[in-house]
Amino acid sequence: MSRDFVYELVGYLGSALVVTALLMTSLRRLRMVSFVGALVFTTYAILIGAVPLIVVNVSIMLINASSLYRMSRVKDYFSSLSTGPESVYLKRFLEFYREDIEHYFPSFTMPEADCRAIFVLRDLVPAGLWIGHEIGPDEWLVDLDYAIPRFRDSKIGRYLYSADGPLPAGTFVVQDPAPDHVDYLKRMGFAERSAGWFERSPSSVER
């Protein structure tokens, strides 16, 4: 493998990371991937001796690092708002984000009368929606656990499932989650109970 070929691979990797960053819906992830992409491109620029590329990508790294630092210093204010299936705003919210919801929750349908719907407000902006219904004593089936794209950084989930969060106490189960949703569930303390079923119980979280 020639040296020039290796250099080209580094350049292509940097290009792929920059393009990937532009596809991120989470601003934090966009900044992180963009930082890594600029770092790889800086390495490539050093290898080929391209000073202008070095200057540009070091500048991009500094901008991303500064943005990530500011994000880490910002403290979000979370609150919740419970509503019922008859809510006009709930219906409009579900319709507005219908295509994105169908991607992550393909089997989701309009909530029934016995469900519990909770909007998560992030700095008073409706950023997420949780819908579930009780299927047994202190056991809830999660029908929807959705965050709008620009707030998709797991903070909403950590607020929901925290000890002081708005959800009822008990065990939560999710049936047949979409593959893109499984990693989130695991971060929130869910474990696979059986084929197609994930569970988050108080005892499993304590362990």
Question: What residues does each domain of the chain span?
Answer: 3-73, 78-206
3-state secondary structure the chain: CCHHHHHHHHHHHHHHHHHHHHCCCCHHHHHHHHHHHHHHHHHHHHHHCCHHHHHHHHHHHHHHHHHHHHHHHCCCCEEEEEECCCCHHHHHHHHHCHHHHHHHCCCCCCCCCCCEEEEEEECCEEEEEEEEEEEECCEEEEEEEEECHHHCCCHHHHHHCCCCCCCCCCEEEEECCCHHHHHHHHHCCCEEEECCEEEECHHHHHC
CATH no. of 78-206: 3.40.630.30
Above pLDDT 90, what percent of the chain? 54
pLDDT classification of 1: cutoffs 50, 70, 90:
low
pLDDT at residue 20, as a whole number: 87
Report CA-CA distances (Å) from 194 to 47, 136, 173, 175. 51, 18, 11, 10
| pTM given for the model | 0.70
The model's pLDDT over 48-61, given as tens digits with 9 standing for 90+, comes to 888 998 999 999 99
Average pLDDT over the chain reads 89
pLDDT at residue 158, as a whole number: 93
The model's pLDDT over 143-182, given as tens digits with 9 standing for 90+, comes to 999 999 888 888 899 999 998 899 998 999 999 999 889 9
Residue 25 has pLDDT above 90, yes or no: no
- Cα distance between residue 98 and residue 108, in whole Å: 10
Q: What are residue 126's DSSP bridge partners?
A: 121
